[in-house]
Amino acid sequence: MTESSPILSVDRPLVVGKAHAESVVEHDTAWTRLIYVYLACATLWLVVGTLIGLYLSIKFLAPDVDHVPWLSFGRLRPVHTNTVFWGWTSLAMIALVLYVVPKTNQRRLYSFPLAWASLALINLAVIIGGLCLMAGINNGGQEYREYIWPVMAIFAAGVILIAYNLIRTIADRGVEEIYISNWYIMGGFLWTSVLITISYLPFYQQNGISETIIQGYYMHNAVGMWFTPIMLGLTYYFLPKLLNKPIYSYSLGVLAFWTQMVFYTMIGAHHFVFAPTPWWLQTVAIIFSVGMVVTLAAGTGNFLLTMKGSGRTIARSYSLPFILAGVISYFLWSAQGTLEALRSLNLVWHFTNYTVAHSHLTMYGFVVFLLWGGIYGLIPRMTGREPSHLLAGVHFWFALLGYFIYTFALMVGGTLQGMSWILEAPFIQSVRLMEPFWLLRAVGGTMMFLAHLIFAYNLWRMRPLRAKREMPATQMEALA
């Protein structure tokens, strides 16, 4: 057996050597430190938030695993969702924004102290918010609106301060045109500032149904007018930068931007299809959900056509595969959202675990994968220190396979749940049949959590060292 196998030969090793990032290109250590600390805090929340998620997944299989009020499912579930939303994803996203906006505007960030203050505020909100939820102090709201208003006000203050910081940076830009990334990023910040304000003002949510209308608007926009536009904006920077070529079409980006704003805002009511909310509002939401296909096709097409012909570069990079996976996820799982809004399919999937799969497919497969692509693409270029290439690969595959197992289990299980209700079987049947799928979900969740530990280690490997030790003498001279 000296002949090597066709799969694992010398020419085709199991792991491909990845290209190294070029040496340090950023010498602004204050800037590097700011961004790195944002990411370090974010990653702490990732590990904490997903550990809680993993523990919750075990509770579906062993509901009596503990009888501690603070760890009870109803109290802990919003701790998981809010920690990964506002702690991990938001902070990591803001870290990358704090690089991309100054870079594309060719100006230093307007105020570093303000940026540090925002970090402190957001961390504070996540800490107090989590403790309150575990103590049974919540807003009485649904998804992502569980923090009571004083806590959300702290978070909102953090977001608004960054928005101000960014506007001042952009207003003082060193280039004439505002690069498309900044459109999406500022969209995300301005829309979210408005969204939190509208959704936390009480005047028009004084009874059950009026509150439900605001909740539908809020839970939908908190994802799609915060994470989606900012992640797309970041990708409009990182993708061409890492591929070293221009974006396929600038105009497609502009088209997707305006349709995002007009279509996406209208579709929150599709979270309450068949509810006693106004029927016309639900129909409007469903129609614009279908309209989102335009935005999706424009955005994804633009990214994929930019990547066309760069297969080798992507394969040789440890950051670009994350971006490729994120872009494909963006299209697939957002399109899934459109399908779920259609009344005929909503009938089967609404209220089931299918929706849990959907939220993980989009938030994780799309948003988080693009974040990781950006982080692996950027940080080595700022600190001059690379992650373990092999571990970055292990991170990628564990996260990808983990979330596939997690979500496919819940999609199949959720569909069966819906079928069982349609067949008017006793309700407990829909609980019993889920058991194997909940087990698979815990297995996938474990793989995802392991991937997060590996990522945390890699982030530590990329940490900035003191400039004096790190910088070669020649560069020091060049700077002097």
Partner 1 sequence: MSFHKNHWLLFSVIFFGYIALSWIVAIGPAIWVQDHAHALPGAKPLTPIERRGLQVYVAEGCIACHTQQVRPLKMDAVWGRPSAPGDYAYVKPLDIWHPYAPAVLGSERTGPDLTSIGARQPSEIWQYLHLYNPRSVSPDSIMPAFPWLFKVVAKPPADALVVPLPPTYAPPSGTVVATDKAKDLVAYLLSLKQVPLQVACGSGAK
Provide the b/e sequence for 450-470 (b: ≥16 CB within 10 Å): bbbebbbebbebbebeebeee
Classify residue 410 by burial, with Cβ atoms within 10 Å: 0-12, 13-18, 19+: buried
Say if CB 375 and CB 92 are below 8 A apart.
Answer: yes
248-287 residues near partner 1, rule: CB under 8 A:
254, 261-262, 265-266, 268-269, 271-272, 274-278, 281, 284-285
Q: Which two tokens stand for residue 208?
A: 């059950």
Q: Which of 349, 241, 224, 345 has its CA nearest to residue 296?
A: 224
Q: Which is nearer to partner 1, 31 or 438 (CB)?
A: 438
Q: Is 217 in the site for partner 1 (CB under 8 A)?
A: yes
347-406 residues near partner 1, rule: CB under 8 A:
347, 350-353, 355-356
User: Among residues 23, 25, 30, 74, which is the contact residue for partner 1, using CB under 8 A?
Assistant: 74
Shortest approach of partner 1 to residue 314 CB, angstroms?
30
Say if CB 97 and CB 234 are below 8 A apart.
Answer: yes
Angle at 56 between CA 51 and CA 59, to 5 degrees: 135
Distance between CA atoms of residues 245 and 237, nearest Å: 11
Shortest approach of partner 1 to residue 298 CB, angstroms?
17
Q: Which is nearer to partner 1, 269 or 371 (CB)?
A: 269
Distance between CA atoms of residues 125 and 380, nearest Å: 30
Shortest approach of partner 1 to residue 121 CB, angstroms?
20
Count of residues for the chain? Answer: 480
Q: Which is nearer to partner 1, 355 or 407 (CB)?
A: 355
Say if CB 82 and CB 146 are below 8 A apart.
Answer: yes
Say if CB 305 and CB 249 are below 8 A apart.
Answer: yes
User: Among residues 75, 381, 389, 395, which is the contact residue for partner 1, using CB under 8 A?
Assistant: 75
Q: Which is nearer to partner 1, 150 or 309 (CB)?
A: 150
Q: Which is nearer to partner 1, 164 or 404 (CB)?
A: 164
Q: Which is nearer to partner 1, 209 or 476 (CB)?
A: 209
Distance between CA atoms of residues 392 and 386, nearest Å: 10
Q: Which is nearer to partner 1, 4 or 251 (CB)?
A: 251
Shortest approach of partner 1 to residue 198 CB, angstroms?
6
DSSP string, 431-465: HHTTHHHHHHHHHHHHHHHHHHHHHHHHHHHTPPP
103-162 residues near partner 1, rule: CB under 8 A:
136-143, 145, 148-150
- Span near partner 1 by CB under 8 A; candidates 66-74, 241-249, 297-305, 471-479: 66-74
10-49 residues near partner 1, rule: CB under 8 A:
none
Q: Which is nearer to partner 1, 129 or 373 (CB)?
A: 129
Q: How far is CA 149 from the centre of its chain?
A: 23
Shortest approach of partner 1 to residue 308 CB, angstroms?
26
317-356 residues near partner 1, rule: CB under 8 A:
347, 350-353, 355-356
Provide the b/e sequence for 333-356 (b: ≥16 CB within 10 Å): bbebbbebbeeebbebbbebbbbb
Q: Which is nearer to partner 1, 145 or 389 (CB)?
A: 145
Shortest approach of partner 1 to residue 93 CB, angstroms?
18
User: Among residues 176, 308, 344, 477, which is the contact residue for partner 1, using CB under 8 A?
Assistant: 176
Distance between CA atoms of residues 115 and 94, nearest Å: 10
φ/ψ (deg, to 5) at 13: -70, 165
Q: Which two tokens stand for residue 216?
A: 């539908």
Q: Could you tell me the CA-to-CA distances from 80 to 85, 133, 143, 222 in Å, in that order?
A: 8, 10, 11, 16
Shortest approach of partner 1 to residue 110 CB, angstroms?
13
What mask of x and - would describe binding to partner 1 in positions 417 to 456, judged by CB under 8 A? Answer: ----xx-x--xx-xxx------------------------
184-213 residues near partner 1, rule: CB under 8 A:
186-187, 190-191, 194-195, 198, 202, 204-213
User: Residue 9 carries which DSSP code?
Assistant: -
User: Among residues 18, 34, 50, 59, which is the contact residue for partner 1, using CB under 8 A?
Assistant: 59
Shortest approach of partner 1 to residue 261 CB, angstroms?
6
Distance between CA atoms of residues 358 and 354, nearest Å: 6
Say if CB 225 and CB 266 are below 8 A apart.
Answer: no
Q: Which is nearer to partner 1, 285 or 367 (CB)?
A: 285
Q: Which is nearer to partner 1, 1 or 428 (CB)?
A: 428
222-251 residues near partner 1, rule: CB under 8 A:
225
User: Among residues 12, 23, 30, 63, which is the contact residue for partner 1, using CB under 8 A?
Assistant: 63
Distance between CA atoms of residues 373 and 11, nearest Å: 27
Q: How many residues bind partner 1 (CB under 8 A)?
A: 88
